[in-house]
Amino acid sequence: MIRGIRGAITVDRNDAEEIVAATETLLREMIRANDVAAADVSFVLISVTDDITAAFPAQALRRLDGWTYVPVMCTREIPVPGSLPRCIRVMMTVATEKQQEEICHVYLKGAVVLRPDLSLTKKTEM
């Protein structure tokens, strides 16, 4: 079964190293919380708010051992009322035997769900 794992994190500044480091932290926590192997990942989508311009956050994926060939796409979000400033969001599609309600979505450093969480899954907060 293919399942989606969502996550988000905010950064304090539009700084290249902070953006890539925060993205790496988020990816590592998503991987850890769901016991994900690179071979089981179909695709990673990283979106950033329009106020993040200093770095390409997908670089963080290439820092992870064994994740060099995982397909990744990075996009910029269209601002909407109520959007968090300097927010990085990740959607990872993974082949897993877990049911959707067993998936742990990860929201770090004040980040929140962009839309209501229909799966009623648990969250990891730091």
Residue 74 known to be catalytic: yes
Model confidence, pTM: 0.84
Residue 32 known to be catalytic: no
pLDDT (tens digit per residue) in 75-123: 998 877 777 889 999 999 999 888 888 888 898 887 866 554 444 444 5
Residue 62 known to be catalytic: yes
b (16+ CB within 10 A) / e for 82-107? eebebbbbbbbbbebeeeeeebbbbb
13, 32, 62, 76: the catalytic one is 62
Q: Which CATH architecture has domain 1-120?
A: 2-Layer Sandwich (3.30)
Q: Does the pLDDT at position 36 exceed 70?
A: yes
Q: Which residue has the higher pLDDT, 44 or 62?
A: 44
What percentage of the chain has pLDDT greater than the value 70?
88
Average pLDDT in the chain: 85
